[in-house]
Amino acid sequence: MIKKILIANRGEIAVRIIRACAEMGIRSVAVYSDADRHALHVKRADEAYSLGDDPLAGYLSPQRLVSLAVEVGCDALHPGYGFLSENPELAELCAERGVKFIGPSADIIRRMGDKTEARRTMIAAGVPVTPGTEGNLRDLEQALEEAERIGYPVMLKATSGGGGRGIRRCDNPKELQQSYPRVISEATKAFGSAEVFLEKCIVNPKHIEAQILADSHGNTVHLFERDCSIQRRNQKLIEIAPSPQITPEQRAYIGKMAVRAAQAVNYENAGTVEFLLSGDEIYFMEMNTRVQVEHTITEQITGIDIVREQIRIASGMSLSVKQEDIHYQGFALQFRINAEDPKNNFFPSFGRITRYYAPGGPGVRTDTAIYTGYVIPPYYDSMCLKLVVWSLNWEDALDRSLRALDDMRLQGVKTTATYYQQILRNEEFRTGEFNTSFVESHPELLDYSEKRAPEQLAIAIATAIAAYAGM
């Protein structure tokens, strides 16, 4: 069994992994930049080590992270998500230095990170993929020829892209000509690769992903699906498990295809297979070779601790469950509470949190690394916390979500919380009929007031008086 883990990440995912380590009796080691020296993951870990004054360099150095793991006696490293979580070099260095990488092998990360290679692998395995180019594009001339063959609109994508970057929709040849150099430039800067390919643009699809777990003993299971259709510019905002808008037959088929995709590459550890759903057609989009931000909602409906399973798998143990043992109950929603101003084109709102009160009650979970007085630095993702709400049925889950968002107090920065309340009240959303165009097609939801109702103001004043009296 693994005894000591270096967590090569920061923020809420680092805190999440630290909690799993504590429950399993494993010693946790945090890393931090000077910008993160007062971060919660630093305070919660058993040990913490500085990566220097540069806010990003240490988190993005495989050599430094693995050397530190060896130096302080860690037998494993967890990459979390983002940063180097899908960097094959980090996995390779771990293998070379005798540190267990809590994730798949470097070869699988490399194969699935190359989207054209992933497409070829899925086609060979009988997993349906979106129509597109067989390989990477040589130049703009070939891109124009392939787009005519596939049919507009098309998606121009960076082969190594992710997180909504390195991707453009092109509705005609002129847009493709304009987008081609831009995507090349963005891909080169963000991913160090200028390779791009084309896919047919599936207009206004549903974005459905399936969570899988696979061990080194030949066991592969799925934990049902998540609906990630509520997104803005390919960035997820609200995630739901299970999807309220697919049939039981579609659910079974998606789970089957996700397991098939994982088995096709001899996958090991936790991963996510992402699909686009248009009518009755389901297409493979990509495979994420790491724990997802939204793993929380799968845990809520299945009762399975995904991070714990990751650590067990890396330790050489079998999965703790078989497919026939896995069931789901109720609905769970995750809200990414970002430090952004929705009324100002979602512009980042970094700064000091002057007051933070986490919502609670039955079925409410908060994953975060913030606290009152914490300063959100401008160097990282704008997500403050993940609010996760569960209930036995869809309507109750929506109503509980509204209550939880209203309970929460996060002051000092602008956030997306009030905007999410508008989405929850929207009839189209409440009926469970929505797709990836929902945010763009409902600009009126941004026309809200952040002023509290009189009764809310009275409660706030009474709370402040009571707090002062108790000092």
Residues noted as catalytic: 290
CB 288 within 8 A of CB 270: no
| Beta-carbon count within 10 A of 40 CB | 20
From residue 361, give the alpha-carbon distance in Å to each of 23, 119, 457, 464.
Answer: 22, 44, 22, 22
From residue 420, give the alpha-carbon distance in Å to each of 95, 187, 233, 355, 393.
Answer: 43, 31, 16, 20, 19
Helix (H, G, I), strand (E, B) or coil at 267: coil
Closest CA to 262 of 323, 192, 335, 331: 323
Q: Indicate left, alpha or beta for 363 from its phi (over 0: left) and psi (-120 to 50: alpha).
A: left
CA–CA dist 201, 132 (Å, integer): 9
What is the residue whose two structure tokens read 């995709």? 261
Here the tokens at position 327 are 């069931």
- The stretches of 157-215 forming alpha helices (DSSP H) are 173-191
CB 45 within 8 A of CB 7: yes
